[in-house]
């Protein structure tokens, strides 16, 4: 029997709850819903960070990068070096060693190219990627670039994005179909989609869903807040003046429909070639998106479930069909899962994740964020606790307000939307959660240290 193919379908900023198979009432995802019936759907997949870069690192490495003091949402050279120096390898590198052809489709940062034989982007010269790499270690330059894009007329920035930009799902899909048709060797194919990322502007189906008329005008609400000028400028460029929250959400949903439509074509191509049954598909996002939770408007900062809970669907030869798995899982679990499926051996010290399908169940999940605010959280089945890393991190730098409270505790059974902070009412649960978080962070430090020593010993032999 030929080695199974592996396809990763990553959709940026896709909330689990906005997909039909996760119970959404709009028909945003007919193809993903069908796919979910052919495999296992995870309902408690939580990202350990809400930034694309850090989540991507977890997917590729099976490891978690601890919170960055520099408030960096990117993956830095020093983080990549320390990963390599402790014996780390990307999934792409491992699969290449085992005879896989490795493909990455669509523009993204560049550092994640490691281990991929082929990297297709819309822009052959990869100019924006090298530009981005140059600015990634300078927070001042980052902020200047961000401002520059936000103030640019929308038509101009749209043109730049179409010509050089990341969002070219059509190109990625076309290329994926070609690879599926022509590739004779087993392949690892990573397809990146990002229509549900702000500004929610897919090439087609922009108005697939239209919201009923309401008076929840977005910019009227925005006026009540002190959000940074460049972000307001960005919103003004992205959304119409009289857009309501419902209009913007309808556009987000239309963007999902767009990517689902393209994903349907990829799955169709696999079936036509007769290799669907010998292919493992992992479909997931890097993080979710907040529409208005605790005044985090249309972005993905904050550690609320809307941002951390990501959809995860796995199909393939040995994956249980039409099954729902409610265990806590995370991006770090994906690499060890693949290695187990392919019977590739590894040491347990290598990963911060476990096989997704293992019987071992986690009782909690943790998450961190850096960027606009440095916060961390721990979530059990019933409660969520969020704390700032230091006193300076209480106020969100982007919104100039405290989201939720200085310390936050939510009773998820009674309050799944995390609207009612009970930190001052239930201090005993708060202390319990805080202690559990501290224990986890301590253990994580110990594992990293053990990893470093093990690698040093191996190298000195
Ligand atoms: Zn992202
Ligand atoms: Zn904020």
Per the structure, the complete domain to which residue 219 belongs is given by: 5-362
Question: Which residues make up the environment of ion ligand 1, defined by Cβ < 5 Å?
Answer: 12-13, 52, 286
Residue 369 Cα to ligand 2 midpoint, Å, equals 12
Does residue 74 or residue 428 have the better pLDDT? 428
- Tokens 């899982």 correspond to 329
What pLDDT does residue 161 have? 53
Given a cut of 80, whether residue 70 has pLDDT beyond it is no
| Ligand nearest to the CA of residue 73, numbered in listed order | 1
- What are 287-338's pLDDT values in tens digits? 999 999 999 999 999 999 999 999 999 999 999 999 999 999 999 999 999 9
Residue 303 Cα to ligand 1 midpoint, Å, equals 14
428 contact partners, CB below 8 Å, separation of at least 6: none
| Ligand nearest to the CA of residue 195, numbered in listed order | 1
| Ligand nearest to the CA of residue 50, numbered in listed order | 1
Residue 176 Cα to ligand 2 midpoint, Å, equals 37
Given a cut of 70, whether residue 187 has pLDDT beyond it is yes
Given a cut of 70, whether residue 449 has pLDDT beyond it is yes
| Ligand nearest to the CA of residue 404, numbered in listed order | 2
Please check whether residue 345 lies inside any domain of the structure: yes
* Range in 148-162, 321-335, 443-457 the model is least confident about: 148-162
Residue 402 Cα to ligand 2 midpoint, Å, equals 8
Given a cut of 80, whether residue 405 has pLDDT beyond it is yes
What pLDDT does residue 196 have? 96
Please check whether residue 412 lies inside any domain of the structure: no
- Percentage above 90 pLDDT, the chain: 73
* Range in 158-162, 338-342, 356-360 the model is least confident about: 158-162
Mean pLDDT of 412-430: 98
CATH number (domain holding residue 319) = 3.40.720.10
| Ligand nearest to the CA of residue 167, numbered in listed order | 1
Q: How far is the C-alpha of 237 from the C-alpha of 226, rounded, in Å?
A: 18
Please check whether residue 195 lies inside any domain of the structure: yes
Mean pLDDT of 202-210: 91
Please check whether residue 401 lies inside any domain of the structure: no
What pLDDT does residue 7 have? 98
What pLDDT does residue 131 have? 37
CA angle 56, 233, 163 (to 5 degrees): 55
Please check whether residue 388 lies inside any domain of the structure: no
Given a cut of 70, whether residue 130 has pLDDT beyond it is no
- What are 224-260's pLDDT values in tens digits? 999 999 999 999 989 999 999 999 999 999 999 999 9
| Ligand nearest to the CA of residue 231, numbered in listed order | 2
**pLDDT-based confidence at residue 151 (cuts at 50, 70, 90):** low
Which sign, positive or negative, has the C-alpha torsion 170, 260, 316, 42?
positive
- Percentage above 70 pLDDT, the chain: 89
How many domains does the chain divide into? Answer: 1
What pLDDT does residue 292 have? 97
Residue 370 Cα to ligand 1 midpoint, Å, equals 14
Q: Chain-centre distance of CA 75, in angstroms?
A: 14
288 contact partners, CB below 8 Å, separation of at least 6: 13, 14, 15, 16, 17, 47, 50, 300, 305, 306, 307, 308, 309, 310
What pLDDT does residue 127 have? 35
- Which strand (E) or helix (H) includes residue 410? strand 408-411
* Range in 86-100, 102-116, 141-155, 406-420 the model is least confident about: 141-155
Given a cut of 80, whether residue 401 has pLDDT beyond it is yes
Does residue 334 or residue 132 have the better pLDDT? 334
Mean pLDDT of the chain: 89
What pLDDT does residue 160 have? 55
Residue 290 Cα to ligand 2 midpoint, Å, equals 10
Residue 356 Cα to ligand 1 midpoint, Å, equals 22
What pLDDT does residue 137 have? 37
| Ligand nearest to the CA of residue 307, numbered in listed order | 1
Residue 201 Cα to ligand 1 midpoint, Å, equals 15
Residue 225 Cα to ligand 2 midpoint, Å, equals 10
Mean pLDDT of 177-198: 95
Please check whether residue 430 lies inside any domain of the structure: no
What pLDDT does residue 128 have? 35
Given a cut of 90, whether residue 158 has pLDDT beyond it is no
Given a cut of 80, whether residue 148 has pLDDT beyond it is no
Q: How far is the C-alpha of 180 from the C-alpha of 5, rounded, in Å?
A: 10
Mean pLDDT of 136-154: 51
What pLDDT does residue 218 have? 98
| Ligand nearest to the CA of residue 11, numbered in listed order | 1
What pLDDT does residue 135 have? 39
- What are 92-116's pLDDT values in tens digits? 999 999 999 999 998 888 888 889 9
Mean pLDDT of 132-152: 48
Residue 78 Cα to ligand 2 midpoint, Å, equals 27
Please check whether residue 349 lies inside any domain of the structure: yes
DSSP string, 176-244: HHHHHHH--S-EEEEEEE-TTSTT---SS-TTSS-PPP-S-BHHHHHTTS---HHHHHHHHHHS-TT-B
Residue 227 Cα to ligand 2 midpoint, Å, equals 8
Residue 3 Cα to ligand 1 midpoint, Å, equals 31
Mean pLDDT of 146-157: 58
Helical spans, DSSP H, in 98-153? 127-135, 139-151
Please check whether residue 397 lies inside any domain of the structure: no
* Residue 78 C-beta-side C-alpha neighbours within 13 Å: 5
Residue 230 Cα to ligand 2 midpoint, Å, equals 13
């Amino acid at each position: 029997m030929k080695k199974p193919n592996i396809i990763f379908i990553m959709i940026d900023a896709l909330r689990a709850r906005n997909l039909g198979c996760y119970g959404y009432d709009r028909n945003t995802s007919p193809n993903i819903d069908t796919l979910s019936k052919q495999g296992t759907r995870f309902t408690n997949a939580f990202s350990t960070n809400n930034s694309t870069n850090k989540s991507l690192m977890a997917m590729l490495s099976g490891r978690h990068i601890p919170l960055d003091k520099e408030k960096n949402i990117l993956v830095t050279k020093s983080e990549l070096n320390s990963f390599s120096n402790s014996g780390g390898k990307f999934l792409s590198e491992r699969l290449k060693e085992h005879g896989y052809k490795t493909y990455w489709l669509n523009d993204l940062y560049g550092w994640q190219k490691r281990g991929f034989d082929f990297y297709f982007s819309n822009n052959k010269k990869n100019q924006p990627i090298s530009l981005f790499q140059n600015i990634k270690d300078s927070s001042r330059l980052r902020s200047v670039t961000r401002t520059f894009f936000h103030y640019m007329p929308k038509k101009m920035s749209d043109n730049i994005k179409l010509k050089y930009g990341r969002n070219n799902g059509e190109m990625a899909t076309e290329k994926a179909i070609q690879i599926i048709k022509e590739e004779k060797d087993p392949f690892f194919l990573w397809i990146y989609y990002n229509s549900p990322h702000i500004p929610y502007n897919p090439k087609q189906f922009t108005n697939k869903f239209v919201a009923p008329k309401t008076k929840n005008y977005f910019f009227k609400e925005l006026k009540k807040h002190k959000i940074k000028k460049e972000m307001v400028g960005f919103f003004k460029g992205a959304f119409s003046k009289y857009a309501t929250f419902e209009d913007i959400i309808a556009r987000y949903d239309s963007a999902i429909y767009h990517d689902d439509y393209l994903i349907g074509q990829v799955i169709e191509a696999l079936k036509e070639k007769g290799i669907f049954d010998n292919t493992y598909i992992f479909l997931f996002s890097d993080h979710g998106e907040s529409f208005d939770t605790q005044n985090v408007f249309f972005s993905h900062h904050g550690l609320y479930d809307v941002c951390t809970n990501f959809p995860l669907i796995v199909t393939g030869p040995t994956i249980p069909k039409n099954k729902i798995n409610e265990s806590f899982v995370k991006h770090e679990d994906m690499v060890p899962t693949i290695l187990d499926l392919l019977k590739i051996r590894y040491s347990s010290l290598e990963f911060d994740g476990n096989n997704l399908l293992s019987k071992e169940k986690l009782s909690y999940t943790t998450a961190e964020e850096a960027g606009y605010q440095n916060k961390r959280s721990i979530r059990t089945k019933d409660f969520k606790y969020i704390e700032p890393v230091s006193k300076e991190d209480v106020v969100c730098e982007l919104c100039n307000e405290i989201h939720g409270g200085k310390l936050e505790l939510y009773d998820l059974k009674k309050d799944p939307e995390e609207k009612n902070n009970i930190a001052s009412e239930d201090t005993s649960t708060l202390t319990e959660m805080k202690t559990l978080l501290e224990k986890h962070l301590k253990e994580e430090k110990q594992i990293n240290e053990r990893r470093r020593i093990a690698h040093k010993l191996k190298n000195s032999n």
